[in-house]
Amino acid sequence: MPVPSFVPARLGPTRAGRPRRARIALPLAAATVLGATASLSAAQPAHAAVTITVAKSGGQYTSVQAAVNAVPDNSSTAYTISIGAGTYSEVVRIPAAKLHLTLLGATGNAADVVIQASNYAGETNPATGSAYGTLGSATVTVAARDFTAEYITFSNAFNKNYHPGVTGTQAVALAMQGDRQVYKHDKFWGHQDTLLSWSNTASTDIRQYVYGSTVDGDVDFIFGNGTLVIDRSTINVENDGVYSSGALVAPATYGSQAYGILITGCNVASSLAANSVYLGRAWVPYSGAVPQAVIRNTLLPAAINVSAPWTGISGATWTPGRYGEYGNSGAGATVNGNRPQLSGTAAANYTAQKYLAGNDGWNPVV
């Protein structure tokens, strides 16, 4: 398949001292491994489930990737990979053909089951001789449709503080590239660009639902062009020691898509200084991007920039984007001319169910 001309990246500082985005090529190997998602729409519902075990000792496999590889491609049978306690230091790629797959932390506590790597965008991939790029830096990439993960920690341990002078410091913990994905009671840990929802084309709609989970990061750490809902979760805006401010979301929604990123019923926490954190930064990496995000019924800390919570990236302004708030509370919540508010009638069209319904009525909402 043709290699897309870009994937998200932010290289080097802006005048304000925060990183900016640039375009870089998606490595051919990544495109080949993950495969296309468009052909999955005709996949049949799963039937009797099969469980595969991963454990440091005593399981069928000792690595998550080995267990993923053992799952038959394009199967109508649901497979669960039950992962025992421990830190699995590996990069995991789940291709589009691994349908109806669940990763399950066997202990029922995400802190016990950690998948971790530390690649970053500017680092040279020894397999290709080129930089990983933002997408390639991901610890876990899931291109499969109808995927579920429960009680798992997805971690990218790269820390800018220990790599002074490097560029391309984006380091993704989880890249979500498939439709109808569900994440429950998980943890997503990183610094810059923790959680990515990314579709390679405007015509390929992808939807992901995150519930009862924890997302940690500092700069644009919930980002991308897919439809992503974060529901009743905790979002921690960290102080990485390099940048004095951060941003929760960086949507790059296609203008043809009604829905981008929704944060609903969440608790946002931060120890950063008052008025130093943006709700979001408009990201326009290609023609046709009209960023869309709504934050509603969410507790916002004093760290949120109360007077001007939305801004742009690399010279882009936020105002052409589609943003809204509704029913937020806390020291970081207020109403002013820089904070578009939804009416009660409009808010009814910006719920988790509305974001995720698509053309098939999908409703994973708990």
**Residues with a known catalytic role:** 220
Q: Where are the beta strands (DSSP E) in 240-297?
A: 246-251, 261-264, 267-270, 277-282, 292-296
Cα–Cα distances (Å) from 36 to 128, 141, 224, 229, in that order, read 21, 13, 18, 23
The total of other beta-carbon atoms located within 10 Å of residue 128's CB is 13
Length of the chain counted residue by residue:
366
Is residue 21 within 8 Å of 12, Cβ to Cβ?
no
Q: Residue 254 pairs with which residues in a beta bridge?
A: 289
Interatomic CA distance for residues 194 and 198, integer angstroms: 13
Are the CB atoms for 176 and 197 separated by under 8 Å?
A: yes
Distance CA 353, CA 199 (A): 20
